[in-house]
Structure 1
Amino acid sequence: LSMGQALAAGLRHGLLSQNVPVLLGTPLMGLEVEDGRVVGIRTPSGVIRTRRGVLLAAGGFEKNEEMRKKYQRAPIGTEWTVGAATNTGDGILAGLDLGAATDLMDDAWWGPSIPLSGGPYFCLAERSLPGCVFVNSAGVRFVNEAAPYVDAVHAMYDTGSVPAWMIIDQRYRNRYLFAGLGPRQPLPGRWYKAGAVFRASTLESLADQIEVPADALALTVQRFNGFARAGVDEDFHKGESVYDRYYGDPRNGPNPCLAPLEKAPFYAVKIVPGDLGTKGGLRTDPQARVLREDGTTIPGLYAAGNTSAAVMGHSYAGAGATIGPAMTFGYLAVLDMISSTQTEA
């Protein structure tokens, strides 16, 4: 095992070694409160009481269409997220029922995604490789394609560029992996049928297929190609940061993230605002205690992970930005539970 699977396995092993039960198929129906303090949870099979409090760490609400439409910018869709199907905001809703405050509900751990027939593909390295350009419905470039994925989707919404189009050429396809496919490997016919990918022998024909102004697309690509040959992106500075270059092609010069689009056929790939999960949730203090709107705590109630509002706000520190805070504030929550019960005793 490696990466996230290794972490999950290590946590599971820790639970097993301490004989901690894990109740599968047990959805949270609500919180049990006595004398103003959270003392347990309600499940379909009854109430489970706790001695020290309840820590809500049930993920975000990326698969709750009603909540997404209520709190987030349109267009938005639960079909664009790669989050777990069970992340329907149960923990957040339970906190709201007790008067908890929320924050950052309009935001998510965004990432430009391709709406493929089998589900969304989170587009990461492909955007930094040389020979791709993002355009909006006007055929105009609007972002540094290699930007951190949260920032890239913020730009999509801020400029009204939903959906956007990733334009690449055959040179790009001959050289690089794309959405799990090897170089030169034909794109599946079902992707074309789903309207996720279009192909044409000229940029003008491609523009007609995706319904963007052909002259605008041609000018955008012409300007981008000039930047690529010079190695300097004067509009959005693609390839200047260490982050950009990390996923670029070090063999490509003078800029590892820039190459002209010249070799037919040309491809247009639909880009939508996908995500890894939502970022908003219950507002908490430094001990992960859930807060009311007036800043007071709800006794016995804690939150961590995507059930809580992200500690880093609208920014994104990098890969693992959900895992580190979840583990840290989960730990701090338990320390506070122990400290509080000892003080009461």
Structure 2
Amino acid sequence: MTRGGIVVEKTEYDVIVVGSGGGGFTAALAAHERGLDTLVIESTDGFGGSTARSGGGVWIPNNYALKKAGQVQPDAEVKEYLYSIIGDGVSRDRIDAFVETGPEALQFVRDNSAADFTWVPDYSDYYPEAPGGKASGRSVEPKPINGKIIGDEMHRLTKSYTKAPAGMVVTQADFRKISLGMRTLRGPITMIKVFLSRLFTTLRGKQMFGMGMAMMIGMRKGLQDREIPLWYDTPLTDLDVTDGRVTGVVVTRNGVEQVLKARRGVILACGGFEHNEEMRQKHQRAPISTEWTTGAAGNTGAGIAAGEKIGAELALMDDAWWGPAIPLPSGPWFCLAERNLPGSIIVNQAGKRYGNEAAPYVDAVHTMYESAERTGIDHFPSWMIIDQRYRNRYLFAGLGPRQPFPGRWLKEGVIVKAESIERLAEKIDIPADSLKETLETFNGYALTGKDLDHGRGDSAYDRYYGDPRVKPNPSLGVIDQGPFYAVKMVPGDLGTKGGILTDAKARALRPDGSVIEGLFATGNVSAAVMGNTYAGAGATIGPAITFGYIAANVIADQES
């Protein structure tokens, strides 16, 4: 608004959404659709958060994209699956709300933004053998989108943590094929398709994006079309409370602290605390580091701290969306396919395997910590052992098959190379006899196709990123062709999963179970509906979208 020719910002809205990721944008779009005057605030100078940095997977069973692909399942079976893997740590009504409302929420995003989604074929649930699990998968991903549709806002889009050439769009479905290099025809064919697509779209003047960036471009277009204001560089410092009800937010804006009033409610969607060293040291197991996360830089726990300050209960603060990561000089590389491909193992500093390397990534790090505590053996770092055959065949941390490891990786000790196993063990300071014995045992399992120690390759999920040309188990391959490599592995994460405990309506709760009126939370600022587990690819973003949608509609349904 203007007064006397001077632009004056409003300081009162019906709804204020804190955070500009998938959950926050869904909440803002839904609140606007219900006729609520809505503001989105963002602590950084860009939008998208961890959603934009991610692969963009969304795990919402029975959504419209899955129905189109014929991948539907009764809600009762979906709930059975989630109940079985999550256990009693999360209330059933929250799980039920996610299952029952999720498809409606994703349909709403499609109908009210430029984001659209498609099934990721055969990307298995992470526990497909559990009751109600689905080996063909229930993950969907954003369709590629032209970034130019949002104009100058493109320079504010948070970039993916994996760097690809401009205009190069690799979907999750593509990545699986490309990771196998030349091992199947699908790998080179997919690469040719990706390069040709880049050429054609560039010639047509388009700037295409995929994965999480595509989702956030599409959602940002939705906000633009509806003229929903988004304020950058406006960090939350506190919550405004009147008579026990949250009535607004305290922010720093243009270097000045001010109160923004929210007549109907505040929705926190501002991420976890992965970049807050003090909170991580307080709540999580050692060793831990803010240097090992791929979460967005703005995720410093401000929303969680503000909620705790006014009496919100916190839960799951010791947990995260873990995954073994390589601490590269340029930043952590979150390992997906690398662990599942045959011809690799991960050992502790005694040279022993301690778990199924191809397990869901959250479980892989849980096992890393638990094994270290149980045995007293140092697992930090652990080491992935591979040989030259593996390097000749597969992509690794963004490098093509046969492509030499960068000298800086070798110089800084992230990658260690040796002509023999004995020399490799000496270089990484682990017992050579132990490592040799471990490899001999594992190589025997690879020949029989049965990992008798940890069951690697038994699950359909283990085999998703495996090599179909390796028999009898696509996740198990012999390691015996020098030179050999040891790759440093640490407990990385996609973000933390602990935060404000909420109910099935996304309302913040106190320790006694009472509701903090006016305060809602979704995404990683809230305690994950997935509990300590991870249902499938996109089980972070799916609930964030769903409970952002729920929160906005609960606010709209309340009497003003």
- The TM-score range, normalised by the shorter chain, is over 0.9
Equivalent in 356, 360, 366 of residue 154 of structure 1: 366
Equivalent in 42, 48, 56 of residue 250 of structure 2: 42
Deviation of 1:221 after TM superposition, in Å, equals 0.2
Distance 2:439 2:233 in 1: 52
1:2 corresponds in structure 2 to 210
Question: More displaced, 68-77 or 330-339?
Answer: 330-339
Equivalent in 314, 320, 323 of residue 111 of structure 1: 323
Deviation of 1:3 after TM superposition, in Å, equals 2.1
What does the per-residue CA deviation read over 1:212-263, in whole Å, with 9 as the maximum and x for residues that have no partner? Answer: 1111000000000000011111111111211011000011111111111110
Deviation of 1:162 after TM superposition, in Å, equals 2.3
Letter in 2 for 1:53: G
1:122 aligns with 2:321: no
1:140 aligns with 2:359: no
Deviation of 1:51 after TM superposition, in Å, equals 1.7
Distance 1:194 1:302 in 2: 45
SS in 1 for 2:478: coil
What does the per-residue CA deviation read over 1:93-144, in whole Å, with 9 as the maximum and x for residues that have no partner? Answer: 1101101100000000000000011111011101111100110011100011
1:262 aligns with 2:480: yes
1:23 aligns with 2:235: no
Deviation of 1:17 after TM superposition, in Å, equals 1.5
2:241 corresponds in structure 1 to 33
Distance 1:298 1:327 in 2: 21
SS in 2 for 1:236: coil
TM-score by length of 2: 0.60
1:250 corresponds in structure 2 to 468
Distance 1:102 1:67 in 2: 13
Question: More displaced, 34-43 or 164-173?
Answer: 34-43
SS in 2 for 1:44: strand
1:225 corresponds in structure 2 to 443
SS in 1 for 2:264: coil
Distance 2:434 2:320 in 1: 31
Distance 1:44 1:227 in 2: 59
Equivalent in 388, 403, 406 of residue 185 of structure 1: 403
1:75 corresponds in structure 2 to 287
Letter in 2 for 1:30: D
2:554 corresponds in structure 1 to 336
1:274 corresponds in structure 2 to 492
SS in 2 for 1:54: strand
Letter in 1 for 2:310: L
Deviation of 1:312 after TM superposition, in Å, equals 1.1
Q: Which consecutive residues of structure 1, in runs of 5 or more, have no partner in the other structure? A: none
Deviation of 1:335 after TM superposition, in Å, equals 1.3
SS in 1 for 2:528: coil
Q: Aligned residues, how many? A: 342
Distance 1:124 1:19 in 2: 38
Distance 1:281 1:44 in 2: 22
SS in 2 for 1:178: coil
Distance 1:88 1:141 in 2: 34
Distance 2:279 2:270 in 1: 15
Deviation of 1:2 after TM superposition, in Å, equals 2.1
What does the per-residue CA deviation read over 1:252-298, in whole Å, with 9 as the maximum and x for residues that have no partner? Answer: 11111111111010000010000000000000000000001111011
Distance 2:476 2:245 in 1: 58
1:320 aligns with 2:538: yes
SS in 1 for 2:231: coil
What does the per-residue CA deviation read over 1:123-171, in whole Å, with 9 as the maximum and x for residues that have no partner? Answer: 1101111100110011100011110000000000001122210000000
SS in 2 for 1:309: coil
Deviation of 1:22 after TM superposition, in Å, equals 0.3
Which structure dedicates a bigger proportion of its chain to helix?
2
Q: Which consecutive residues of structure 2, in runs of 5 or more, have no partner in the other structure? A: 1-208, 373-378
Distance 2:219 2:394 in 1: 36
Equivalent in 265, 273, 285 of residue 61 of structure 1: 273
Considering only aligned residues, what root-mean-square deviation do their CA atoms show, in Å? 0.8
Deviation of 1:29 after TM superposition, in Å, equals 1.0
Question: More displaced, 58-67 or 236-245?
Answer: 236-245
Distance 1:207 1:3 in 2: 39
Distance 1:318 1:109 in 2: 12
Distance 2:554 2:472 in 1: 54
SS in 2 for 1:300: strand
Letter in 1 for 2:556: I
Distance 1:54 1:190 in 2: 47
